[in-house]
Amino acid sequence: MKKTTIVIALGGNAILSTDASAKAQQEALTYTAKQLVKLIQKGYQLVISHGNGPQVGNLLIQQQATDSKENPAMPLDTCVAMTQGSIGYWLENALAKEVQNAGIKQEIATLVTQVIVSENDPAFEDPTKPIGPFLSQEKAQAIMNETNTLYKEDAGRGWRKVVPSPKPLSIQEHQVIKTLIKNDILTICGGGGGIPISGNDLTGVEAVIDKDFSSEKIAELADADLFVILTGVENVAINYGKENEQQLKQVSVKKLEEYIKQGQFEPGSMLPKVEAAIQYVKAKPTNKAVITSLEKLSDFGEQEVGTEVVFD
């Protein structure tokens, strides 16, 4: 019997909060793995992608701090690859321990994933993707005055460095992902939105891809049955933070597009998640996408979970 395949997009902030140490991030991933294993116990086939915004930003700071002729800083695409490897390593080991504790026989693999983008994408003219730590406006302005970098205010939480975020055209390794799924291997891929490469010559591009859009492309090309985007809240809401806030349970693509026009979702926060969910459902109208929190994963298959996005 074919298992239901779920692509689950984890956020980078689910791995790193205030403590950037390896130990703290590994502890966070241990908790994450415990939640994911609950779905494996229910018989689901998982493909897991993850963000790396905080991690790649911190790595860039480290690279810049030690930059020299003898030890030059690595470019952004290479830093994305480096954090794919480190986070994938931590997550794979955390999952391996938890499936063993649960008495499950499950092979796990982490795949270095490249995402094809167009160098003519308008994102290169308007950097918007936040990476790295949150700074005060004064600190951000000081850095901008000293370096050729751009910082922007991020959803009321502080100022963060922003870089181009082109839309993914395809996943270079999508056939490999399908092969792993076919062989019942729990797959970790698309780390940090994937390593951006040019569609012309497959060379690295200085950009960061939004992990929700690259995860959608993975779900689409891998023929997933369900696309799940995890965030810090259980449901998408309109009028968020106001007295008339309304949580959405099941919502159509058409209705969500109306809410987007109304400016209901914060750019760089909930908006890309909603747009990625819409994109997936439009590509596969018989399937649905779900936006919810990590803690609600254990309820899958037993009750309605999060915000379900369905076709009109």
* 52-56, 64-68, 210-214: range with highest mean pLDDT: 210-214
The pTM assigned to this predicted structure is: 0.90
| 193-207 residue pLDDT tens | 999 999 888 899 989
Q: Quick one: average pLDDT of 52-66? A: 84
Q: Is residue 28 part of a domain?
A: yes
Q: Is residue 101 part of a domain?
A: yes
Please tell me the total count of domains within the chain.
Answer: 1
Of residues 155, 160, 159, 224, the one with CA closest to residue 187? 224
Q: Is 80 exceeded by the pLDDT of residue 138?
A: yes
Q: Quick one: average pLDDT of 132-147? A: 87
pLDDT of residue 38: 94
Amino acid at site 223 = D
pLDDT of residue 271: 94
Q: Is 80 exceeded by the pLDDT of residue 288?
A: yes
What is the percentage of the chain residues whose pLDDT exceeds 90? 71
Q: Is 90 exceeded by the pLDDT of residue 112?
A: yes
| 218-276 residue pLDDT tens | 999 999 999 999 998 999 999 998 999 999 999 999 999 999 999 999 887 899 999 99
pLDDT of residue 273: 96
pLDDT of residue 1: 66
Q: Is 90 exceeded by the pLDDT of residue 48?
A: yes
Domain of residue 300: give its range: 5-115+169-310
pLDDT of residue 84: 95
Q: Is residue 41 part of a domain?
A: yes
Q: Is residue 247 part of a domain?
A: yes
| 82-98 residue pLDDT tens | 999 999 999 999 999 99
Q: Is residue 139 part of a domain?
A: no
Which residues are known to be catalytic?
A: 12-13, 129, 211, 273
Q: Is 90 exceeded by the pLDDT of residue 154?
A: no
Q: Is 80 exceeded by the pLDDT of residue 162?
A: yes
Integer Rg of the chain from CA: 19
* 17-31, 103-117, 259-273, 287-301: range with highest mean pLDDT: 103-117
Q: Is 80 exceeded by the pLDDT of residue 132?
A: no
pLDDT of residue 13: 61
Q: Quick one: average pLDDT of 53-74? A: 86
Distance CA 110, CA 38 (A): 20
Q: Is residue 290 part of a domain?
A: yes
Q: Is residue 291 part of a domain?
A: yes
Q: Quick one: average pLDDT of 144-161? A: 85
Q: Is 90 exceeded by the pLDDT of residue 46?
A: yes
Quote the mean pLDDT of the chain: 92
pLDDT band for position 169 (50/70/90)?
Answer: very high
Q: Is residue 164 part of a domain?
A: no
CATH number of the domain that residue 41 is part of: 3.40.1160.10
